[in-house]
């Protein structure tokens, strides 16, 4: 199955100004959203309480969540543990000013009133302090930084220095836009979403390296070819593969998004945005930056 003919010659680079302008608007808008109103940090980063509770009778996740919401825990997160119908749940609550004992009593009181005494057991309750959350934020930021730095070094060594900046700027583009969407929609940013962003980086650089490898190959086999025409030819030759790969991943993520349950819902949502951004940035961000650096290096030779 081919979306593009092997001998197609679409002028993607000729439209680079349109695409770069669009990307600048999206990135600036995302950065504004990230800083104002800002990311809504989840318990992993902001601190809060985790309660592991076991119900003897079968109870649905939606019912547990409704009970908590109706009793003042509106921002609670409920995750089913174990096999289907096991009755064990992990409840995450926003930061509480009370002690572990008082919160445990409060949770027990809520479920005793509705489900009855002895119908459940609070197996574990732990508090994640703001200091721990701040430490996780710092480590998450460093994880992103080292990922980008490692990729910058790898691409520079694997190809040459003219390829590396375009690849890393494209990855920054792919990381910022999903975060901006999460900030704009008020969705929680936690370790799961950080994992999604790191996954997006890995997926996106794979697409970019496929294109860069084709560019390098054509530079070797067509040494006198105009660089813009060469990059356009490379994009056209890899476009079918890029679209098919992205479409396959996108369909799988849609299935996870709609049928994977609440626990993985936001991860799939972030990945859906990232796959679109990653495909787009490989073609319309990384390539034009490479061309710009190529011309600059050629001028220095003269």
Q: What is the pLDDT of residues 61-74, one digit of tens each?
A: 888 888 888 888 87
**Final residue of a structural domain among 94, 128, 162:** 128
Kindly state whether residue 2 falls inside one of the protein's structural domains. no
Axis crossing angle, helix 16-33 with helix 164-185, rounded to the nearest 10: 50
Kindly state whether residue 8 falls inside one of the protein's structural domains. no
Quote the domain boundaries for residue 244: 13-42+132-301
Three-class SS state of 81: strand
Q: What is the pLDDT of residues 133-161, one digit of tens each?
A: 788 888 888 998 998 899 889 888 888 88
| Residues 6 or more apart in contact with residue 66 via CB below 8 angstroms | none
Kindly state whether residue 270 falls inside one of the protein's structural domains. yes
pLDDT of residue 217: 93
**236 shares its domain with 119:** no
Higher pLDDT, 159 or 291: 291
pLDDT at 168 exceeding the cut of 70: yes
Q: Provide the pairing of β-strand 40-41 with 188-189.
A: parallel
**Final residue of a structural domain among 84, 101, 128:** 128
Instruction: Give the C-alpha distances (Å, rounded to integers) separating 26 from 2, 12, 150, 179.
Output: 30, 20, 25, 11
Higher pLDDT, 270 or 75: 270
Kindly state whether residue 4 falls inside one of the protein's structural domains. no
How far apart are alpha carbons 25 and 28 in whole angstroms? Answer: 5
Kindly state whether residue 148 falls inside one of the protein's structural domains. yes
What band does 84 get if pLDDT is binned at 50, 70 and 90? low
**114 shares its domain with 199:** no
**Final residue of a structural domain among 93, 128, 163:** 128
Apex 113 CA angle, 107 and 117, nearest 5: 85
Nearest CA-CA partner of 58 in 88, 102, 36, 14 = 88
**Beta strands per DSSP E along the chain:** 40-41, 48-55, 77-81, 88-94, 120-128, 188-189
What band does 46 get if pLDDT is binned at 50, 70 and 90? confident
| Cβ contact 148:248 at 8 Å | no
Kindly state whether residue 3 falls inside one of the protein's structural domains. no
What band does 96 get if pLDDT is binned at 50, 70 and 90? low
Tally of domains within the chain: 2
**245 shares its domain with 168:** yes
**184 shares its domain with 238:** yes
Instruction: Give the C-alpha distances (Å, rounded to integers) separating 211 from 48, 137, 199.
Output: 44, 33, 19
List the CATH number of the domain containing 290.
1.20.1640.10
Q: What is the pLDDT of residues 173-209, one digit of tens each?
A: 999 999 999 999 988 898 899 999 999 998 899 889 9
List the CATH number of the domain containing 104.
3.30.70.3400
**63 shares its domain with 77:** yes
Length of the chain: 302
> What percentage of the chain reaches a pLDDT higher than 70?
92
Average pLDDT along the chain:
85
pLDDT of residue 183: 93
What band does 91 get if pLDDT is binned at 50, 70 and 90? confident
């Amino acid at each position: 199955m081919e979306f593009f003919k092997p001998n197609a010659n679409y002028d993607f680079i000729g439209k680079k100004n349109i695409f770069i302008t669009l990307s600048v608007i999206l990135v600036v808008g995302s950065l504004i959203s990230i800083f104002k109103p800002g990311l809504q940090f989840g318990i992993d980063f902001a601190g809060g309480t985790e309660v592991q509770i076991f119900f003897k009778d079968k109870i649905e996740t939606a019912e547990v969540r409704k009970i908590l919401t109706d009793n003042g825990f509106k921002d609670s997160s409920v995750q089913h543990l174990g096999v289907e119908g096991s009755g064990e749940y992990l409840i995450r609550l926003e930061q509480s000013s009370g002690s572990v004992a008082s919160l445990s009593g409060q949770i027990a009181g809520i479920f005793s009133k509705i489900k009855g005494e002895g119908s459940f057991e609070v197996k574990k309750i732990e508090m994640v302090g703001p200091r721990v959350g701040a430490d996780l934020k710092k480590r998450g930021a460093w994880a992103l930084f080292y990922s980008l730095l490692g990729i910058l070094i790898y691409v520079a060594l694997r190809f040459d220095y003219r390829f590396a900046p375009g690849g890393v700027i494209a990855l920054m583009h792919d990381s910022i836009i999903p975060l901006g969407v999460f900030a704009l929609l008020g969705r929680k940013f936690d370790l799961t979403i950080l994992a999604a962003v790191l996954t997006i980086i890995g997926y996106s650089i794979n697409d970019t390296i496929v294109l860069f490898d084709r560019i390098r190959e054509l530079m070797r086999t067509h040494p006198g070819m105009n660089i813009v025409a060469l990059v356009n030819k490379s994009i056209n030759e890899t476009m079918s593969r890029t679209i098919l790969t992205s479409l396959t991943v996108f369909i799988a993520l849609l299935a996870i998004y709609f049928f994977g349950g609440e626990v993985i819902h936001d991860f799939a949502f972030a990945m859906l945005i990232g796959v679109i951004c990653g495909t787009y940035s490989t073609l319309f961000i990384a390539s034009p930056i490479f061309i710009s650096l190529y011309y600059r290096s050629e001028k220095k030779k003269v």
